[in-house]
Structure 1
Amino acid sequence: MNDCLSCIVRNRAICASLGREELLLLGKMGRRQRVSSGHTLLWEGDDAPVVANVLEGVLKLVTATADGREQIVGVVFPSDFIGRPFGVESPYSVSAMSDSELCIFNRDSFDDFASGHPDLQQKLLRRTLDELDRARGWMLLLGRKSASEKVASFLLEMSARLSDHGCRPGKQGVFELPFGRQQIADILGLTIETTSRQLTGMRSDGLIDLPSRREIRINDAAALREMAG
């Protein structure tokens, strides 16, 4: 892959700090890969031979108990970084929630490259700290919030993140979710019936509109933030 200079997420990805020559060198190490919806890129507990920047699509990070029960512990969007640099095993499984495209690097080669570029290491550290903050918020959402608080929090975060990452924030405040209600329910640890009921109630109260099955318009962000707690 040699088109890092024209990459659509270059200014937001961890490699944004690199100069032209460094980008060209990094580009020679990487390759683009399409990942179909439902496909698993990395498995929890297995050797993690690759790391990647997300170019398009949305992927989920999943951990499982010994008896097979799964919990989504994170969702990644374009410009997000996945994988475990300077590590061996993947702490979670990584699966595509929508058709996605990744910029993939061999982990060992990436580690060697990062070791010689302090700016890139600093970006990795900042991204890790951001993920830690997000994980703490996720713990509160899953462990303590009610169904209405969960759905309101989710919509506010999706509005912010989809707009930030260019995932089709539509006209007049409408944004399109890259996944359906069953996947929303899985993310929030709710049933699809509860999720649908909460969305319908918010629409009835005038907080949101649902122009289509996956489109959301937030009409009253302040009220939604209050509901989110």
Structure 2
Amino acid sequence: MVTVRQDVHSTGIPVLCQSCEARHRGVCGALDPDQLVGLAKTSSKHTIEPGVELIGDAETVDSYSNVLSGVVKLTKSLSDGRQQIVGLQFAPDFLGRPFKVESAINAEAATAVSLCSFPRASVERMMRESPELEHRLLKQTLNELDEARDWMVTLGRKTAAEKVASFLLMIARNIDPTLDPNT
């Protein structure tokens, strides 16, 4: 017997959004069909090659994006020119920091990345109109905070082998979010 996901085939949802993971597991899942239509009218999808900077530190934020595939590396530039990796983002993560005019980090495509981007004004307007969207973004932000805390422990207290194992586990969890974190 074939099981069909009814939510994928419901009418009123933009075609580009119907099979998108950001709608099922990401921030767009908080939007109703009318809100998705409104956001889709302002969105653009594009693929970025590895190594391309998506936004630089202190650049004006004009848009936000959902990561549809690939890995985005988040870094902070140090005064001596080095970069410190402060995070990685995977599908269906939301890329950007709402309500901030300038970026405080660099975001670069670590692999080929597919993004669905929206103008900053559209997203911030929808957040004011949709408490569910604001809640979903807050939830993702808190998850990122938890990951950052875990990363600090990994960098500060673990052996080299434990660091590699923790890094691989983090990647595996993002590839398969159903993975039990205790295994």
> Which bin holds the TM-score, normalised by the shorter protein?
0.7 to 0.9
C-alpha deviation, 1:79, in angstroms: 0.3
Aligned partner of 1:7 among 8, 20, 37: 20
Aligned partner of 1:143 among 141, 156, 161: 156
Alignment partner, residue 204 of structure 1: none
Q: Measured at CA, do residues 47 and 2 of structure 1 come closer, stay the same or move farther in structure 2, by a change above 3 Å?
A: farther
Alignment partner, residue 37 of structure 1: 50
CA contact (8 A) 2:75 2:85 kept: yes
Q: Measured at CA, do residues 2 and 27 of structure 1 come closer, stay the same or move farther in structure 2, by a change above 3 Å?
A: farther
C-alpha deviation, 1:2, in angstroms: 6.0
Structure 2 residue 89 is matched with structure 1 residue 76: yes
CA contact (8 A) 1:53 1:80 kept: yes
Q: In structure 1, what residue type is equivalent to 2:137?
A: L
Greater RCO between the two (CA within 8 Å, min separation 6)?
2
Alignment partner, residue 117 of structure 2: 104
Give the structure-2-normalised TM-score: 0.85
- 1:137-178 Cα offsets, whole Å, 9 max, x none, are 11111122210110111122222221239xxxxxxxxxxxxx
Q: Which has the larger radius of gyration?
A: 1
The gaps in structure 2 that reach 5 residues or longer are 1-13
C-alpha deviation, 1:96, in angstroms: 0.3
C-alpha deviation, 1:9, in angstroms: 3.4
Alignment partner, residue 16 of structure 1: 29
CA contact (8 A) 1:32 1:101 kept: yes
- What CA distance in whole angstroms lies between the structure 2 residues aligned with 1:123 and 1:95? 24
CA contact (8 A) 1:54 1:79 kept: yes
SS, match of residue 88 in structure 1 = coil
- What CA distance in whole angstroms lies between the structure 2 residues aligned with 1:123 and 1:96? 24
Aligned partner of 1:90 among 103, 106, 111: 103
Aligned partner of 1:116 among 129, 134, 139: 129
SS, match of residue 47 in structure 2 = strand
C-alpha deviation, 1:19, in angstroms: 1.3
SS, match of residue 176 in structure 2 = helix
- What CA distance in whole angstroms lies between the structure 2 residues aligned with 1:112 and 1:2? 23
Aligned residues: CA RMSD: 2.1
Identity of aligned residues (%): 40
- 1:78-102 Cα offsets, whole Å, 9 max, x none, are 1001111111111110000111110
- What CA distance in whole angstroms lies between the structure 2 residues aligned with 1:16 and 1:151? 33
- 1:39-67 Cα offsets, whole Å, 9 max, x none, are 00010122121111001111100001112
The gaps in structure 1 that reach 5 residues or longer are 166-220
